[in-house]
Amino acid sequence: MTRYLILDGYNIIGALKRYSARTTGGFDESRETLINDALKAAGWTGRSVILVFDAARSPEAGRSELRAGGAVRVIYSAAGESADDEIERLVRSLGSSATVCSGDFALQRAALAGGAARSVPREFEALLDELPVVTRNPNTPFRARVADRLSPEVLHDLERLRREAEGRE
């Protein structure tokens, strides 16, 4: 079953310092930085990421594009609709396979009511901070390794146990 992470684009840009225009150099750059971070998150977690921007008053309204072979889908809301409307529609179709990341409490409640999980921008930032310096290519299928999640001490103890077991055989 495919798992989805739905990001409320401009809400996340407004909530996290890493996307402020002062940090990135401008509003368009903030949007591109978030898209690039979504690509990294998709590659690392193996989840499909859907990034929704409010484009109700934009010439890009209603446009959708795929990035990295479909690992990330960027959606601009249709004319006369908000990003929240689009996200709620996605939640209705994806249900429990989706997690909505937004700081908007009303949208979080709608996500929970639709069977989806919810997270806040700070949690997305924490995920990005956990990524290794060199992130995998999102086109490569994700393969979790237990060793990636264990502390060096536990890895050392497991290696010692493995060597002891080999010595008895």
Residues 48-78 pLDDT 10s: 999 999 986 666 778 899 998 889 999 999 9
Backbone angles phi, psi at 16, to 5 degrees: -115, 130
Who's near 69: CB < 8 A, 6+ residues apart?
138, 139
Yes or no: domain 4-168 corresponds to CATH 3.40.50: yes
Average pLDDT over residues 84-93: 96
Q: Tell me what the pLDDT averaged over the chain comes to.
A: 87
pLDDT at 87 > cutoff 60: yes
Q: Whole-angstrom Cα distance, residue 19 to residue 32?
A: 9
* Alpha helical stretches, state H, 81-151: 83-94, 105-113, 121-130
Domain ranges across the chain: 4-168
What is the widest separation between alpha-carbon atoms in the chain?
71
